[in-house]
Structure 1
Amino acid sequence: MQRDSSSATVSGTDQDDPATDGRVTGRRMASTGSGLRIQGDDNLQSMLVGTVMRKIKSRSWKKQRYFKLQEDCTTIWYKSKKAGNTHSTFSVSDVEAIREGHQSEVLLSIADEFPADRCFTLVFRGRRGNLDLVAESVEEAQSWIRGMKKLIENLENMGEREKLDQWIGDLFKKADKNKDGRMNFKEVRDLLKMMNVDMNEHHAHRLFTMADKSQSGTLEDDEFVLFYKMLTQREDLLKVFQDYSADGQKLSQSDLEDFLKEEQLEEDDFQQKAKQLIEHYEPSDTAKLLNAMTFDGFLMYLGSSEGSIFNPRRRGVFQDMSQPLCHYFISSSHNTYLMEDQLRGQSSVEGYIRALNRGCRCVEVDCWDGANGEPIVYHGHTFTSKILFKDVVSAVGKYAFKVSEYPVILSIENHCSIEQQRVMAQHLNHILGDKLLKTTLDGKVGLPSPEDLKGKILLKAKKIGGLEESFNGMVEDSLTGEASDEDEVAEIDKDNLHRDSIRCRFKVVSHLLPQKTKQHLSKELSDCVVYCKSVHFSSFKHSRIHSKFYEVTSFTESKARKHLRDAAAEFVHHNSRQLTRVYPSGFRTDSSNFNPQEMWNAGCQIVALNFQTAGEGMDMNDGLFSQNGHCGYVLKPVFMREAAKRFDPEMPQNQDGYQPVILTIQVISGQQLPKVNIKEDSIVDPLVRVEIHGVPIDQAKQETRYIENNGFNPVWYDTLRFTVHTPELAMVRFVVEDYDKTSKNDFVGQYTLPLSCMQQGYRHIHLLSKDGTTIPPSSLFVHIRITKLDKPSSLS
C-alpha cells in the first residue's frame, strides 16, 4: 500500500491539548500515512476537534466526558469536563464494532430519557466492557459513528509494515518526555526499554550517532526513521533471502520459484505463483519490470496472509457442509449469559452477543420462573444477576447469523412452571418467527445437515414423546419428568466430592447445589423441539438398540472422561450416530474450563466452554474453529463419522489408513514481544513452548532455551520434533513465556491452530493475548516441516 504523507495534514486541532504533542514524528510514523484521508472528511475533522458526550454506566450513572481523536488517528483521548481530572485513552484497534441506537442493556435502560439516534455503543475486543455513549445531537452521534467505522476499516486494511510503523510511532511519543518532537540519547534508551530491548549502551550510542546525520545530539523526523530501520533489521530473514538470491541483492523470478518449491512446498504452479507474489508484494516498480523481488518485497510477502503459518485455503468455508449434524464439531458455550464467575457474576445478554459474534453455534439458556409471569435467565440458587428470557431470545434472534449462516442451537435448561414454559414458547415463536425450526424438513430422513438448516435456530430441550408421535398428534398435553437434563448433583455424589470443602469457601453452598425435581413439561414448549430432544444416558448398549437419531445426551466433563476410560471406541461409535453435549463440572465456580481436546478425541460434538474465561481451553476452541470460515462447524475426520471404522483414540495405530507424521518446527526468531511486567526497566527473557494436543499418545510439549533480556528481536534457531500418530485430530499451540528462575514463567502470548491447517516452510505467527486478541505487532518466525511416515514400524 503506497504511503500518502500529504493526507496527514490536519488543521483546527487544540494546540494546548497534551495528547497531541510530539506531533512531527508521531505523524510521520503513525497510520495517517496509510491511505487515510483526513482533509475533506467532516467526520474525522470533527473527531479531531473533540466532542462532549455522556458516558453511561447505568440508569443512575451518566457523566459528561470530553472525547477527541488524537492526531495519530489511532487513539481516542477523553477526560472529565472538570479541570484537573486525569485523562484516559483507548486504541481504535481495540474496538471491534459500533452499535447504533439502544443496542445494549445499559442504553435500553435509559431509552425513555435519550432517543436512539443520539446513542451508540463501542464494543471492545476480548473481555473488556462496552463503552455506552450519548451525544448532544444526532449529527454529533453520526459523526462519531461514521468516523469510527472509517478508522476501524483503515486499520483492518493496513499492511504489516504500517502496523509496525504505528506501533513504533506510539512508543516514540511515550519516550519523547519533553514533547519537543525530537529525541536525545537518554530518551532513546528509554524507548529501547519500552520496546523490550536491553541493548549494550555502546552499541545503542553507535546506532544513535550513525542516525544523527545533523550531528545535533538529537534525532528528528528522518533521522529517527533511519535509527528505527537500523534497529529493525531482520538478519534472520536476510539470511533466507541471500540463500536463494543469485546476486545477494534480489530474487529473480527463477530464484523465487526455487524458494517456493524447495522451502514453501507450494502446491500451485510455481511460475505463476512467483509472478503473482512479485506483482502483489514488490514495492519497487524497477524490480517489477525485471520480474524480480527485492528484500523489502520479500519482507512484505512473508509478513502477509500468504506467508502466515495458517493455510489461507483453510480460512474460508472449504468443508462439505451437507453431512448430518452429528458429523461436525460445533462451537459451543456454557452458561452463556454469564460475564464472570458462576456464583456472583453478572448475567447479561451481552454474553450471547459476544459468543455468537465469535462464531459460537450452541448457547445455553438456564430458565427459571420470574416476576410478573416473565421467565428469567440466571445461574439458579446463586447470587448471579438475572435477565429476562425474552431479552435473551431477542439478542439471539438478532445476532445468530451475523458471522455465520449455519444453524444455532439453543440449549435450554428448564426449571420453569408449566405457565411460564408456555410464556417461553410464546416468546420463541413471536420473536424468532420463521428462524425457529418447528417442523422436520420435507423428505429428510435422519439428522439434517448444517447446509439444510442455514438460518435456522434449533431448540435443544426435553420433549414429550418422539418426532413420530408429536407430528401425528399422538401425545398428551404434558409430561411428568425432569425438564432439565443437567444432572450435577448425581455427578457430584458419584465422584465422592465433599460439600464441606466448598462450604468453607462459600458459606451458602449447602443450598446452592442444584436439586433434582420432578415437574411437568408444557406441550407448547415441547413442540418447539424437533431434532435435539434431550434424554438421559443409560449405556452405550442401550443407546445402540433404542436411541433415536434426534436424541441428545449431556455429560459433565468427569462423566465423559469415565466413558472415555471405560469404552473409548464405543463413545466414538455413539457420536457417529447422534449428538453429545459435554459441559464443565459444577465445581468450577470460577467458570474455568477443561481442555476440550479430550472430548473431541471421542467425537463429542457440543463441547461447551465458558466463553467469558480466557485460558488454554478457549485457546484450543478458538484454534479449532479458526478454520472453515469461522462458521462454528468443523467436519470430523472420516474415521469418526463412519460407524464401521471403530476408531479408538487410545489405540490410534489400529485404525485403517493409519498414517503418522513427523512434525519438525524450527523456532527462528521473535519480534516485538510485549512486556509482562509493568516496571519500566523490566525486559522479557523469552522462551517458546510448543504443545501438541491430540489423542493421548500424541500429547507432548517441548520448549526452546530462553534468550536473556531481549523481547524485541530474540533469535533461537532451536529445532523441536514431534511424532504425531493422529494428525487429523492434532492441535498445535505455540506459547511464548518470560522465563523466571524463581517462580512460574509469565505468559507473553500464544497461537493455536489445527495441524491440518498448518503451512510448511518459512512462516510467521501473529501472537494473541490472554483474551484472544492480537498483540500488534508481536510475532514469531518459524520453519515448518511435516513428513509422512510410510512405515509405522520405523517409529522409535
Structure 2
Amino acid sequence: MDPEGSRIQDDPDVKVLLAGSTLRKVKSRLWKKNRHFRLLADSQTIWHKSRRAGRGHSTFSVTEVEAVREGHQSEVLQSIAEDFPADLCFTLVFHGRQGNLDLVAESPEEARAWIQGVRKLIHRVKTMDAKEKLDQWVRDWFQKADKNKDGKMIFKEVKKLLKMMNVEMNEEHAWHLFTMADKSESDSLEMEEFVLFYKMLTQRDEVWKVFQDYSADGEKLLLEELESFLKIEQHEEERSAQYAQQLIDRYEPSETAKTQGAMSLDGFQMYLCSQEGSIFKPEHVDLHQDMSQPLSHYFISSSHNTYLMEDQLRGQSSLEAYIQALKRGCRCVEVDCWDGSDGEPVVYHGHTLTSKILFKDVISTLKEYAFKASDFPLILSLENHCCVEQQTVMAQHLSQILGDTLLTTLLDGQVPQQLPSPQELKGKILLKAKKIGGLECSLDETDLVSDDDEMANGDAESPSAEDLPAECLNQNEKKSKSKLSRELSDLVVYCKSVHFHGFEHARLHAKCYEMSSFSESKAKRLVKETGTDFVQCNTKQLSRIYPSGLRTDSSNYNPQEMWNVGCQIVALNFQTAGLEMDLNDGLFRQNGCCGYVLKPDFMRDGNTQFSPDKQGERQNYKPLHLSFQVISGQQLPKVNQKEGSIVDPLVRVEIYGVPQDQAKDETTHINNNGFNPVWNETLNFVVHTPELALVRFVVEDYDKASRNDFIGQFTLPFTCIQTGYRHIHLLSKDGTAIPPASLFIHISISEVTI
C-alpha cells in the first residue's frame, strides 16, 4: 500500500466507506433496491452487491467518478423526494456518457460520510502526479488479476494478466523479467514486486535512444545537456536555461540527481509523459485570448436539442443532458418549448415520442449550472411553439428564476453599433428568440411564426411576419401559427431571431443584434455559392447552424465547413459521440475550455475578402509543412476485454480545415501489440490555412475482414501544437481520458517555399 493510500484510510469518512454500508440504489420511482457498497483496501475501487445475491457483484473505480451531488439533485431522486428526505440522498456522477448512480443512505450521518468520503477520494486522484497515477493503474491491474485475493501472483497468472493488459510477449523474456522481479524468491510476485516487473516491462528503448543522443555518460542529462535538448528538439529557445532547472525540480525522482542539477532517464521519461511534454501548448490550455471583442468575433460552443440524452424520435428528455453539455463548456443551449396540459410549458422534441420535462425545471437547472465551467455568457436559444398565455408563463419563469443573471436591458442604454464582448457579458444569460420590433423602438404586437420549426417542414424555412414587406403583412397574419407574448419579447436584447433575406439585404439593413438560423443544407449551399459574403456577414452578426430535421438518429454534420466561413453558433448534438464532437471538443479545448474561441484576424475584418476555397489570394498567405514521425504507442486499451485477442494498432492523422487542407494518412498496423507498439513512420502534410485547421489523431485496431475498431483519439487546433518529441494522451469515444494510453511522436513545422 502506498503511504498516501494509508493516510487516506485514516480519514473518519473513508473509514465508513471501508467498513461498508447498505444503500438503497434508485433507478426510478418504482425501482428501489438495497445494495451493499464498500471501498476496497486499494482506496480506489468501490464494490457493491445485492444483500441476497450469491456471487453477483460489481465494481467501479473512483477515477470514473466526476462528482458527488448532495440531496435531490437528479430527476430520479426528485421523483422520490416525498419518500426520502434530501439529507439521505446523493448522486455519483460518472465521466462521459455513463449514467448516474442515485443512492439513499439509512441515516443523514451515513449519507454525509459517503458524500465527503468519495469527494476526498476524487480529490486524491486529481492531485496525484504522473508517477502516482501510473503506479495506481498498475496496482488496479494487479487487483483485477489476483482472483483468489492472496496478494500474490504466480507466473501463470502473470501471463494471463499480460494478455488482459494487451501484451503479447515472448514467454522466455516474460519469465526472465518475472525472476528478476521476484526478490523474495517465492516463485510469485507480491504487489510491489509486480510494480517492479511492470517497470522493467515498460522500459522504453525509443526514449532511451533520445536520452543517449544528449547524455555524455549515458546515465544522466546535466543541466546544460537538458538545455541543449530543449533548444534543439523542443524549440524552447527563449526559456531553456530556467526551464531546464524547473523540469528537474518537477520531474526528477532521484534526490541525488537533483542535487547534481541533473536528470535521470526516469525523470526524462516522466517529463515527456507529463502535460508539459504533451502535444498541446501549455500556454494555450488556460484562458489567454482577448475577450473584449464583439460576440460576433468568436466561435461559440453550441448544442442542438440540448434536452435529449439519445435520439430525437424516442430519446429521453432530461435535465441531466443540460448539465452534461454545460460541464463540457457549451455556451449556447437549445430549449424546445411546447404548451403543457396544465398551463405549464414543457420541453421536448415536438410530435415525437420523446419524454417531456417542465420548462421551469430546465431554467432552474440553467441557473445552477450555467457558470460552473465558464464565466462567459450563456445564450439560451428558444424554439418557441407555445400559445401567448404559456409564453407569458415562460417569461415569468425566466425573470423570477434567473433574476439578475438574465440580461434584459442594454448594457449602457445605447442602441449598439456592434455586439458587446464576452468580457462585458460575463455571468449573464442571453435569450435568443423572436422580438417585437427592434431595440430602437417599440412596435405593436405582430403575428409571427417560429424561425426554425424543422420537424414539420424539413429544411424549408417559414418567413416571419415582421420580416416581410409591409404589403404582405395582412395576408400573412391570417396564416400565422402563433402570436408572440410582449413579456417574452421584452426579454430579448442582443439575440433577436430574424429570417434571412440574403447577404445583400443584410449588408444594407441588418442590425448587429439581429441573427438568423440556417439548416445545415442551406448553410452548405451558401458556403459554396457565396463564401466571402458569409464571412463578411459573420463579422458583424451572429449566425446559428443546426442539423437537418432528417437526422432522426441525432447524428451530426461536420462543423468545420461552418467555422470556415466564421459561423459562430454551430450547434451539434452533444449526446452523440463521434468525429464531429471530437472536432468540437478539439476546437474548444483551448482558451481555458471557456466555450469561446477568438476567430482569426482575417475573419474579423468587415471588409475581408477571405473565402475558404481561395487560399492563394489571402494576404499574408503562408502555407506550412507539417511532419509527424509516429514513433510508438503505450498501453493502448483493448477493444473488447472479453476476447483473448490482442489489438493490431495503426495510427491515422486527419487534417480538417479549408477544402484544400482536408487530408489524412496512416501508418501500417502492428500485429498483436497494444502494449508498446513501435511504428517509426513519418506522415507529411501541407496546411494552407493553419489558423482554421484541426488535427485529429486516431488509433484503430486493424481488421482486414471488417471495419477497423476505434481505440482512442485526440484532436487539437493546429495553432496549439508543440513541436519536438511529444506525447499524445488519448481519449475515449466519449472524449474522456483513458490513462495511461498515449502515442509518442516527433513533430516538425516549417514554412513552404511558394
Moved more, 361-370 or 38-47: 38-47
Name the amino acid aligned to 1:557.
E
Name the amino acid aligned to 1:242.
Q
1:482 aligns with 2:449: yes
Q: Report matched runs for 1:341-740 at 5 Å.
A: 341-442=311-412, 445-469=417-441, 474-476=442-444, 478-487=445-454, 489-492=456-459, 518-740=481-703
Q: Matched residues in 1 for 2:627 and 2:6: separation?
A: 42
Q: Matched residues in 2 for 1:573 and 1:170: separation?
A: 55
Q: Report matched runs for 1:88-103 at 5 Å.
A: 88-103=58-73
Q: CA deviation at 1:702?
A: 0.5
Q: Report matched runs for 1:2-401 at 5 Å.
A: 27=1, 32-34=2-4, 37-84=7-54, 86-401=56-371
Contact 1:307/1:764 (CA < 8 Å) preserved in 2? yes
Q: Matched residues in 1 for 2:486 and 2:616: separation?
A: 49
Q: Matched residues in 2 for 1:666 and 1:467: separation?
A: 56
Contact 1:464/1:475 (CA < 8 Å) preserved in 2? yes
Q: Matched residues in 2 for 1:489 and 1:644: separation?
A: 38
The counterpart of 2:721, out of the listed 758, 767, 770, is: 758
Give the equivalent residue in structure 1 for 2:467.
Answer: none
Name the amino acid aligned to 1:78.
H
Provide the TM-score with structure 2 as the length reference: 0.95
Do the aligned partners of residues 465 and 614 (structure 1) sit closer, same or farther apart at CA in structure 2, a change above 3 Å counting?
A: same
Provide the TM-score with structure 1 as the length reference: 0.90
Contact 2:417/2:512 (CA < 8 Å) preserved in 1? no
Do the aligned partners of residues 74 and 517 (structure 1) sit closer, same or farther apart at CA in structure 2, a change above 3 Å counting?
A: farther
SS in 2 for 1:652: coil
SS in 2 for 1:468: coil
Q: CA deviation at 1:489?
A: 4.9
SS in 1 for 2:113: helix
Give the equivalent residue in structure 2 for 1:4.
Answer: none
| CA deviation vs aligned residue, 1:152-199 (integer Å, no higher than 9, x gap) | 111111122222222222222222333322222211110110111111
Moved more, 691-700 or 54-63: 54-63
Contact 2:669/2:702 (CA < 8 Å) preserved in 1? yes
Give the equivalent residue in structure 2 for 1:17.
Answer: none
| CA deviation vs aligned residue, 1:13-54 (integer Å, no higher than 9, x gap) | xxxxxxxxxxxxxx4xxxx54466234310111100001111
SS in 2 for 1:784: strand
| CA deviation vs aligned residue, 1:698-724 (integer Å, no higher than 9, x gap) | 000000111110000001111111000
Q: CA deviation at 1:669?
A: 0.7
Q: Matched residues in 1 for 2:237 and 2:525: separation?
A: 43
Q: CA deviation at 1:486?
A: 3.9
Q: Matched residues in 1 for 2:243 and 2:173: separation?
A: 41
Do the aligned partners of residues 222 and 114 (structure 1) sit closer, same or farther apart at CA in structure 2, a change above 3 Å counting?
A: closer
SS in 2 for 1:576: helix
Name the amino acid aligned to 1:100.
E
Name the amino acid aligned to 2:713.
Q
Give the equivalent residue in structure 1 for 2:468.
Answer: none
Unaligned segments of structure 1, at least 5 residues: 1-26, 495-515
Q: Matched residues in 1 for 2:141 and 2:380: separation?
A: 46
Contact 1:652/1:726 (CA < 8 Å) preserved in 2? yes
Contact 1:365/1:412 (CA < 8 Å) preserved in 2? yes
Q: Matched residues in 2 for 1:546 and 1:225: separation?
A: 70
Q: Matched residues in 1 for 2:220 and 2:273: separation?
A: 18
Q: Matched residues in 1 for 2:537 and 2:77: separation?
A: 47
| CA deviation vs aligned residue, 1:393-434 (integer Å, no higher than 9, x gap) | 000011100111000000000000000000000000000000
Contact 2:347/2:356 (CA < 8 Å) preserved in 1? yes
Contact 1:491/1:559 (CA < 8 Å) preserved in 2? no
Q: Matched residues in 2 for 1:359 and 1:331: separation?
A: 7
Q: Matched residues in 2 for 1:529 and 1:454: separation?
A: 17
Q: Matched residues in 1 for 2:117 and 2:147: separation?
A: 30
Q: CA deviation at 1:740?
A: 0.5
Q: Matched residues in 2 for 1:268 and 1:102: separation?
A: 53
Q: Matched residues in 2 for 1:250 and 1:56: separation?
A: 56
Contact 2:323/2:369 (CA < 8 Å) preserved in 1? yes
Do the aligned partners of residues 455 and 479 (structure 1) sit closer, same or farther apart at CA in structure 2, a change above 3 Å counting?
A: same
Do the aligned partners of residues 348 and 36 (structure 1) sit closer, same or farther apart at CA in structure 2, a change above 3 Å counting?
A: farther
Count of aligned pairs between the two proteins: 735
Contact 2:301/2:570 (CA < 8 Å) preserved in 1? yes
Q: CA deviation at 1:488?
A: 5.5
Contact 2:295/2:421 (CA < 8 Å) preserved in 1? yes
Give the equivalent residue in structure 1 for 2:471.
Answer: none
Contact 2:306/2:573 (CA < 8 Å) preserved in 1? yes
Name the amino acid aligned to 1:236.
E
Q: CA deviation at 1:490?
A: 4.7
SS in 1 for 2:739: strand
User: What RMSD, in angstroms, separates the aligned Cα atoms of the two structures?
Assistant: 1.5
Moved more, 517-526 or 163-172: 163-172
Q: Matched residues in 1 for 2:664 and 2:56: separation?
A: 46
Contact 1:66/1:81 (CA < 8 Å) preserved in 2? yes
Contact 1:486/1:554 (CA < 8 Å) preserved in 2? no
Q: Matched residues in 2 for 1:73 and 1:35: separation?
A: 6
Q: CA deviation at 1:777?
A: 1.0
| CA deviation vs aligned residue, 1:316-359 (integer Å, no higher than 9, x gap) | 11000000000000000000000000000000111111111111
Name the amino acid aligned to 2:430.
L
Contact 2:9/2:43 (CA < 8 Å) preserved in 1? no
Q: Matched residues in 2 for 1:280 and 1:437: separation?
A: 45
Q: CA deviation at 1:98?
A: 0.9
Q: Matched residues in 1 for 2:270 and 2:27: separation?
A: 43
Moved more, 169-178 or 415-424: 169-178
Do the aligned partners of residues 461 and 221 (structure 1) sit closer, same or farther apart at CA in structure 2, a change above 3 Å counting?
A: closer
SS in 1 for 2:7: coil
SS in 1 for 2:685: strand
Q: Matched residues in 1 for 2:296 and 2:48: separation?
A: 50
Q: Matched residues in 1 for 2:438 and 2:319: separation?
A: 32
Name the amino acid aligned to 1:263.
E
Q: Matched residues in 2 for 1:403 and 1:283: separation?
A: 34
SS in 2 for 1:269: helix
Name the amino acid aligned to 2:98.
R
Q: Percent identity?
A: 66
Unaligned segments of structure 2, at least 5 residues: 462-478
SS in 1 for 2:135: helix
